Amino acid sequence: MGFAIAGAVFAFLSVAIGAFGAHVMADRMSAEMLNVYHTGDQYQMYHALALLAVGVLLHLGIGGRAMHWAGWLFAIGIILFSGSLYVLSISGVKAFGAITPIGGLCFLAGWICMIVGFVR
């Protein structure tokens, strides 16, 4: 149930991060950077829910090794994709945007692994 716990933690953090952005950072960021921040938060929640699903599916014995990889890729994707968008939006350092696509590729690879886990 490790992935389910990770999913719950990431979902909790997504709610907290979203509230922080809406109530604290909204007046301190440009509209463009606030949108970047919220994009990171949305994708964090989507993939936190995917991690919860991975944890439940593995607990039920569905998906095997491919599903396990999906969980790791979703978790790494959250850190790289959402994390880089948070840092970019708060710091304004555009170089962090170069990390975002790597996280996006992790998300895509995680969904492919999930598909493979269902097919096998």
Domain ranges of the chain: 1-119
Distance CA 71, CA 111 (A): 9
Q: What is the reported pTM? A: 0.95
Condensed to tens digits (0 to 9), the pLDDT of residues 36-45 reads: 999 999 999 9
Condensed to tens digits (0 to 9), the pLDDT of residues 59-75 reads: 999 999 999 999 999 99
State residue 1's pLDDT score.
73
For residue 11 the two structure tokens come to 């979902």
Distance CA 85, CA 7 (A): 19
State residue 26's pLDDT score.
85
DSSP annotation of 94 reads: G
Looking at this protein, which amino acid is placed at residue 100?
T
pLDDT above 90 for 25: no
